[in-house]
Amino acid sequence: MLCIGVCPQNLLKMSKSFNKSGYHYAEITADNCRGCKRCTLICPEAAIELFLEENENEPNNREET
């Protein structure tokens, strides 16, 4: 799969299960994704969605009014 090869942290692997279409799918192996979005951009089926959570330890980049 294209997405597995582009992950700079090697967090994706092929699942042993099949999806509804009968294909193995990519799954994340750890919970430390940095959110580079490379996997989402390369996926030909647009099957990967990335949801980033705010980290309380990182500074907030929003301007306060």
Q: Quote the pTM value.
A: 0.67
User: Can you give the pLDDT at residue 45?
Assistant: 82
User: Can you give the pLDDT at residue 49?
Assistant: 87
CB atoms within 10 A of CB 36: 13
- Tokens encoding 28: 């994340």
Residue 25 near residue 15 (C-beta atoms within 8 A): yes
Domain span holding position 59: 1-65
Give CA separation, 15 vs 39, 56, 62, 63, in Å. Answer: 16, 32, 38, 42
Q: Please give the Cα distance from 5 to 14 (Å, whole number).
A: 11
Supply the CATH number for residue 64's domain: 3.30.70
* pLDDT tens per residue across all 65 residues of the chain: 789 999 999 999 999 999 888 988 899 999 889 999 999 999 888 888 888 777 666 555 545 44
User: Can you give the pLDDT at residue 52?
Assistant: 76
User: Can you give the pLDDT at residue 65?
Assistant: 45
Q: How many domains does the chain have?
A: 1
Residue with tokens 């309380």: 56
